[in-house]
Amino acid sequence: MRTKKLLALGILFLLAGLLPLHSQQSFTIQKDIFVAKDEVQENVISLGGHVVVEGKVRKSVVAFGGSITISGEVGESVVGIGSAVSLKSTAHVGQDVVSLGGGLSKEPGCTINGDTVYVKAAEIGPKLFRHGFFKGIFAVPLMPLILIIKLFTLFLWFLVALAVAGIFPKQTVFASGQIRKSFWPIVGTGLLALIVFGALVIFSALLCLVLIGIPILFALFCAGLLIKLFGRVVLFTFFGESILKALNARKISPIGAAIVGLILVGFIGFIPILGFLFTSCLSIIGWGVVIRTKFGTTENWLRRK
């Protein structure tokens, strides 16, 4: 239970950093939310409560804990983190349904136009730590500590990919498309951004000697984390779309593309030396695409007006 709460809080901090990008949209963020038959909402986010949708939600429904019951229409995705997700026979979901660490029930007749992802993951994190750390490195046969860390990191990236691609699909897909369109400008932007960011971190660390650098350093850490998370999911989507298009997939959803890309990037990351070089290049591209597209909201944020 403690791990689940920490996980929900971590994803919530991510959302808190990205929600301002949607200032032009309306979000309903409460504990218990009921959308009546004649009611229309834009986005719905619940923290530990119960969500009942009998009417229409134009975009996404997201819940951390609690439950989600859909008998009406959801335009994009339904995402439950540690939630009991129930789709009635009259439910219609325009894109994906994701249930992570909770339950999922679907009545005959419900419609899901995208992917269905159901993972019982509530105990994976505690088991890894309990068996891999507290009982020694050799508690898991033939599983060295570095492999456990990489697998657990891959699992965390899986959670982030589900959250970002599920809640911000348009921004993720748009930014992914810009990689194809403006690859070298994005690489140049990423290199310059990392150099400037590194210089600011060093300068802030020196200012910590007189205390005023501590809040600046913390702000830089938060900004860098948000850029890294969003940029990496954009790259997952980019690679996933490329693979699925090569396989002649008819319909590519943002979550499906992100997961396929995560598998590819995760596999390459396990290769010694090559994996390190590959992830380093991804960091440069990720920073460049996030800053250049302003988290997937504009084609070139740095263009002079």
Q: Which of these, 58, 56, 57, lies nearest to 38 by C-alpha position?
A: 56
H or E element at residue 34: strand 33-35
Query: Mean pLDDT throughout 213-236?
Result: 89
The domain locations on the chain are: 2-119, 147-293
pLDDT of residue 210: 67
Query: Mean pLDDT throughout 17-37?
Result: 55
User: Which residues, 6+ apart, have CB-to-CB distance to 66 below 8 Å?
Assistant: 31, 32, 46, 48, 49, 50, 51, 83, 84
pTM over 0.85: no
d(CA 24, CA 27): 10
Q: Is the pLDDT of residue 267 over 70?
A: yes
Query: Mean pLDDT throughout 230-256?
Result: 87
pLDDT of residue 1: 39
Residue 184 burial (CB count, 10 A): 8
pLDDT tens across 147-156, in order? Answer: 667 777 888 8
Q: Is the pLDDT of residue 72 over 50?
A: yes
- Percent of the chain at pLDDT exceeding 70: 78
Query: Mean pLDDT throughout 42-64?
Result: 85
Q: pLDDT higher for 270 or 243? A: 243
